[in-house]
Structure 1
Amino acid sequence: MKLLRLLPLLLITAPLSAQETTRRVTPEEAFSEAAMHYQASRFTEAAALYKKTASLISDSPSAHYNLGNALLRVQTPGSLGRSIASYARAFHLAPRDGDIRHNFDFALKRAGEELIPAGTPATLWIAFHILSRTELKAFQFLFLWSALLLGTLWVIRPEWRERVGTPMAVVCGLWLTTAGWWGARAALAMKDPAIVVRMNAEVRSGPGGTFSVGFKVPEGRRVSRIGGRKGSWVEIGVPTEGLKGWIDSDALEPI
């Protein structure tokens, strides 16, 4: 699988104190060493270092993507689910990246799902998700403040009304479009999503091991945490099957 180049890093590790005997590893060093392990097919070691990199620079899609690649090659219990969680984080940060989208879909298919829902035109789905949530929110605020600025000029400078009227209408239309787009994305998104990281995880009728097993969820399946929580047990819903129940939180990885 293709390794993405790590984005420029702004994070700089703090100077070591005199008492520290072990030098801290920078994200660049961890990423470079992880890439060497990956190329040498030492996927467990690569995954550990990519995980360290992703924890240090959580907004880097490259770190999450490469962690997903390494975990997918480890092929141990839980690695498929955790690879899907990593791909999901990378996709949310960089939805236009074709490699991320392809590997995310590939891993989901191994778990019995697909990235693009059945019956949905691929082009339409990709266009709907072409902007990340951060980008969409940024455009929404940009158009809102532009509309407010033009509206202020329209009010305080009557002689400019003819010139600012059309741009103000266009910007207002763009703001309404991005606001509606944001609302549609929020409405269709899974609530508090998580990935099952345990093989055939048991979902019970109540929050505890004494409750009966209602059904089992395969590793890698996306579920929604629907609000209930008691001790280490979390209430989940499985949207694809319309089922819900309680599961041990250790069987989930939030995304």
Structure 2
Amino acid sequence: MKRFLTILLLAVAICAAGKDTGALKSRADSLYARHQWTEAAEAYRALLKSDPYNADLHYNYGNACYRLKDIPRAILAYERAARLNPSDGDCRHNLTLARAQTQDKFYSASDLDIAWSFLSVVNTFGADGWGWLSLVALALCLAALLAVRLSRSVGLRRAARTLVVVSVLCIIVFNIFALIQRRKFTDHSSAIVMRTTRLMSTPDTTGTNLFTLHGGTKLSLTDTTLPLWSEVSLSDGQRGWVTNTDIERI
């Protein structure tokens, strides 16, 4: 009886928490619809504390930050949303708009076009989606192998052999895309500059100031062993050190 009451109380608590979360989400959406960006951003941020893996919440939080002209935090939110839901075209579009407003451009236009063209294909599905497509390709490959072995038609066997080759190539490509998406989800080696900071030659304020980094710039973390500093690399290959208080991991 005591165990039953404990389970019942736990179920009631979970239901109450769910209702509170739903009410806060409705309130956040209502605040955003009324153009109360600051209050909406605070509400979405509160929701993310209890549900940090919700892509929609990160996306909505990014929209509120974008309206507030807080571009670094908007980019951070969009990056997190895109990682959780790679196939969200609206999120990728808004991320592109936010990036266009950053001051630092450490890439060429052609490089960016090539990268986005490739990513637009990879981001069509998440890791699970590419995994399912790989299984479909495997099934087609097995069916084609059976056709090659059992069919008496020369034309059908020739077509089946072609299908085997295509299926194998698809399996390889789909698995590569799935690994890319899985790595994006589990990899936390990227960060966003949250405020103007200096890129130093050494992890010390007395080092050489290589140049200034502005909010919204995306960095790759290459050394995070020090408590106050991180070594980073830019998209153009340049490296240096920044203080941990000025960046936030995606």
TM-score (norm 2): 0.71
Deviation of residue 35 (structure 1)?
1.3
Note the residue ranges of structure 2 that are not aligned, 5 or more in a row. Answer: 1-9, 152-156
Residue in structure 1 matched with residue 28 of structure 2 by the alignment: 34
* 8 Å CA contact 2:138, 2:171 repeated in 1: no
Which of 241, 249, 252 lines up with 2:244 in the alignment?
Answer: 249
Percent of matched pairs sharing the same residue? 24
Residue in structure 2 matched with residue 179 of structure 1 by the alignment: 175
Deviation of residue 201 (structure 1)?
1.0
* 8 Å CA contact 2:203, 2:242 repeated in 1: yes
Residue in structure 2 matched with residue 203 of structure 1 by the alignment: 199
Residue 232 in structure 1 maps to residue 228 in structure 2: yes
Deviation string for 1:101-150 (max 9, x for gaps)?
A: 22111110111468x962226983464233244245523663587489x4
Residue in structure 1 matched with residue 210 of structure 2 by the alignment: 214
User: Quick check: which one's helix share is greater?
Assistant: 2
Deviation of residue 159 (structure 1)?
10
Residue in structure 2 matched with residue 9 of structure 1 by the alignment: none
**What are the within-5 Å matches in structure 2 for residues 140-179 of structure 1?**
142=135, 146=139, 150=142, 161-162=149-150, 166=160, 170-179=166-175
Residue in structure 1 matched with residue 154 of structure 2 by the alignment: none
Aligned pairs, number: 227
- SS in structure 2 at match of 1:81: helix
**What are the within-5 Å matches in structure 2 for residues 73-152 of structure 1?**
73-75=67-69, 79-112=70-103, 118-119=109-110, 120=113, 124-125=117-118, 127-135=120-128, 137-139=130-132, 142=135, 146=139, 150=142
- In structure 2, do the counterparts of structure 1 residues 30 and 145 end up closer, same or farther at CA, with 3 Å as the change threshold? farther
- In structure 2, do the counterparts of structure 1 residues 180 and 161 end up closer, same or farther at CA, with 3 Å as the change threshold? same
- SS in structure 1 at match of 2:109: coil
Deviation of residue 81 (structure 1)?
1.0
* 8 Å CA contact 2:130, 2:177 repeated in 1: no
Residue in structure 2 matched with residue 69 of structure 1 by the alignment: 63
- In structure 2, do the counterparts of structure 1 residues 24 and 135 end up closer, same or farther at CA, with 3 Å as the change threshold? closer
Deviation string for 1:26-84 (max 9, x for gaps)?
A: 43222211112222332222112112333433443221111001111223xxx321110
Residue 54 in structure 1 maps to residue 48 in structure 2: yes
Structure 2: distance between partners of 1:204 and 1:249: 13
Q: Which has the larger radius of gyration?
A: 2
The code of the aligned residue for 2:209 comes to: V
Residue in structure 1 matched with residue 5 of structure 2 by the alignment: none
- In structure 2, do the counterparts of structure 1 residues 130 and 185 end up closer, same or farther at CA, with 3 Å as the change threshold? closer
TM-score (norm 1): 0.70
* 8 Å CA contact 1:229, 1:235 repeated in 2: no
Structure 1: distance between partners of 2:85 and 2:176: 21
Residue 194 in structure 1 maps to residue 191 in structure 2: yes
Structure 2: distance between partners of 1:32 and 1:129: 33
Note the residue ranges of structure 1 that are not aligned, 5 or more in a row. Answer: 1-12
The code of the aligned residue for 2:92 comes to: R
The code of the aligned residue for 2:194 comes to: V
Structure 2: distance between partners of 1:135 and 1:70: 30
